[in-house]
Structure 1
């Protein structure tokens, strides 16, 4: 969640900003990539043991404080206890944190550039107990991995690269993992659809959050490895939405898991 790392990446991001200013899709390849994912949605494997298309869920709102709070100064142990009781009462195996949500937990200096917070969520969160298994949704190779071990960062993180057809390349990010999830990985390692990829981490290893998976689609890694922006400035949302489209294109949950543009 730091600055861009290369001149080429900075130039690409500037080109996306320029295209948006001209009224064009910021990333020129984005429409074709979204279309390929949508056209092949029936072949994707669930990333969890439960079927996210049909299982019961609680969709949470983290745009304001409520009985369940994530990040900030909250106590992850206490918040985990509250969430697990709610999920058990609902007979729901998973809780959901929404895409595009403007979150109050991202208002600290850690998430600010030029005094403005990167507060709008670029991924979807899947909340379940620590060590819940995660499966690859489609074939890929390990692009990179890292233990982003700052407080409220991703913790252990894996990024897969997918090239399922000619001219189609994109990435999926898996954050807040167990440290053991990184064992045996190497760049270029082949991962098959449906293969056990990793497991949810526990606090504090996972960045000190309620145990969950941050799942994100990325169309341009912008030169980064083992880490990527997990939230965007609301003023730049249209640009980052083109780079990181709605992860529900792959997850395919029927519930409304996308916040409105105002985060409500």
Structure 2
């Protein structure tokens, strides 16, 4: 999740900044994609074995320290124990980390450039035990994959490419996976909606986090493969929300899983 961007991608990002400054949607096709996702939401397969539209959940807040501390210098084994007990007490199979949340765990130097932390979350996190199965939500092919094996990085990661209709092209990212999730993959490998795609990883393989899936929608890969920005500078949020729309457009959870602009 490094901040480097190829020259061509940097020029495209500048175009997005210019469009925003002119009062336009930063990514020209973003609204078209959001509209398509809204209209087709009922067709998407759940990414987990539980129906995320109906299953019980605990929605967490990581914009401040609570009972569960995510990342940083926290002990993932102890934090996992705390979360699993909370989920058991709530009879909830899944915990949720919110989209657009301004997280304190991203305030370290690892997530900073130009003095501002990339602290606002671009995906939705789904917390469940290590090796939980993950299913493709719609037809796609493997765009790229990698083991991003730095501390607090994604660990094993898969990115699918989707072209479900004329003029609709986007990507979905699956991060913090088990290492064997990458076995047998190749660029262009096809997955149909509902196919087993991968499994949750465990710490430290998953980047040393509580076991979870980071799920993200991406319109422009900005020249990257097997990795992508998982959080954005708050000052650039209006651009990044255009590049990476709300993942709940696919996940279809009825709970409020999107933080406010201030991250709370």
Q: Give the structure-2-normalised TM-score.
A: 0.99
Matched, 1:112 2:112: yes
Give secondary structure in 1 for the equivalent of 2:172: strand
Corresponding position of 2:240 = 240
Q: Trace 1:181-192 onto structure 2 (pairs within 5 A).
A: 181-192=181-192
Offset, 1:166: 1.1
Give secondary structure in 1 for the equivalent of 2:198: strand
User: Could you tell me how far apart the structure 2 residues matched to 1:75 and 1:115 are?
Assistant: 27
User: Could you tell me how far apart the structure 2 residues matched to 1:216 and 1:5 are?
Assistant: 19
Corresponding position of 1:178 = 178
Offset, 1:12: 0.7
User: Could you tell me how far apart the structure 2 residues matched to 1:190 and 1:182 are?
Assistant: 14
Q: Trace 1:206-245 onto structure 2 (pairs within 5 A).
A: 206-245=206-245
Corresponding position of 1:11 = 11
Q: 8 Å contact 1:142–1:187 — kept in the other structure?
A: yes
Offset, 1:235: 0.6
Q: Trace 1:36-115 onto structure 2 (pairs within 5 A).
A: 36-115=36-115
Give secondary structure in 2 for the equivalent of 1:78: helix
Where structure 1 has 5 or more consecutive residues not aligned to the other structure, the ranges are none
Where structure 2 has 5 or more consecutive residues not aligned to the other structure, the ranges are none
Corresponding position of 2:156 = 156
Q: Give the structure-1-normalised TM-score.
A: 0.99
User: Could you tell me how far apart the structure 2 residues matched to 1:49 and 1:68 are?
Assistant: 24
Structure 1 runs (4+) deviating above 6 angstroms are none
User: Could you tell me how far apart the structure 2 residues matched to 1:106 and 1:179 are?
Assistant: 24
Corresponding position of 1:147 = 147
Aligned-residue RMSD, C-alpha:
0.6
Q: 8 Å contact 2:3–2:229 — kept in the other structure?
A: no
Corresponding position of 2:195 = 195
User: Could you tell me how far apart the structure 2 residues matched to 1:224 and 1:174 are?
Assistant: 15
Q: 8 Å contact 1:4–1:10 — kept in the other structure?
A: no
